[in-house]
Amino acid sequence: MTTPRWRALSSSDPPPGATQRWRLDLAYDGSDFSGFAYQPQFVTVVGVLRETLARTLRLSEPPHIVGAGRTDAGVHAFAQVVHVDLPVRMFRNDRGPEVPRLLKSINKQLAGRVRILSAQPVSDEFHARYSASWREYRYLVLESAPPGLDLTNAWSWSVEGPLDLDAMNRASAAMLGTHDFRAFCRRPANSKAGDPLMREVLFARWQRLDDEWGLSPTGAPAVRLSIRAVSFCHNMVRCLTSTIVAVGQGQLPENTVKQRLKSLQREFLPPPAPAGGLSLLSVGYGEFAGGPSGFVR
């Protein structure tokens, strides 16, 4: 992804308290975080970023940060997007530090746990969550677990193979379009039991990855789910992944996803796949907001 150039703001005196909205594209290793969203009692991506910005910019209090979406504890991101409103006085040419130097300092303090990939000033109409038109995730599964041995690691889920990718893709086709995903989501705490969880899935495909390094005696150590939707509900990708992997192992029929989208029942389905295999790859925005983050197919 091309990194947007930092743009200096007007050198005229801003009114007291004036702010400039910034779009920040982030990558992070979710292994040691209790999720993305700010939680005062836990170490989260937003919590660490808030503290680092406040310390580096010498703000009186940590700024409010809004993300394109939340990721669970252990979930990673290659191109998450947030917006934050910062004092205009911080980014003027005639006073204060230069912005590129600030960014370098912030990333150094984040110590590789979180990294700001790019930043650009945007209009106040930009909203990291509501301006986004889609989100895309990747889930990585390794067909390397010996029978009876359950292995996981920080970036993938190891399962007993081989997996039938044709069956998995046929099962995944049922989720395309707009459906009530109650059977594959954890219900929000403030919602009622009968409330629908409507989501629109734009793309879903399983692919087997080439083993160019010869890491597996089978030559096919990993399969990858790429899934794009307008938005996702809590645990949606992980619940769909575990169900479709069970289809690929022959433990569930191919029509399981289709049936459960109709019945809205989750009983007797596998638990969600481990968080470590899931990564946020890209978030879609229009040109007014700087375009999509990350890699776009």
Give the residue numbers annotated as catalytic, written as ranges. Answer: 72
Q: How far apart are CA 129 and CA 127, in angstroms?
A: 5
Distances (CA, A) of 232 to 46, 181, 214, 266, 292: 19, 9, 35, 17, 17
Those residues whose C-beta lies under 8 Å from the C-beta of residue 204, and which sit 6 or more positions away, are 172, 173, 175, 176, 225, 226, 227, 228
Name the residue among 185, 287, 276, 194 with its Cα closest to residue 231.
185
Token code pair at residue 5: 């150039």
Q: How big is the CA angle at 31 (ends 132 and 296), to the nearest 5 degrees?
A: 35
The CA-based diameter of the chain, rounded to the nearest angstrom, is 68
Q: How far apart are CA 227 and CA 222, in angstroms?
A: 16
User: Residue 11's Cα: distance from chain center in Å?
Assistant: 37
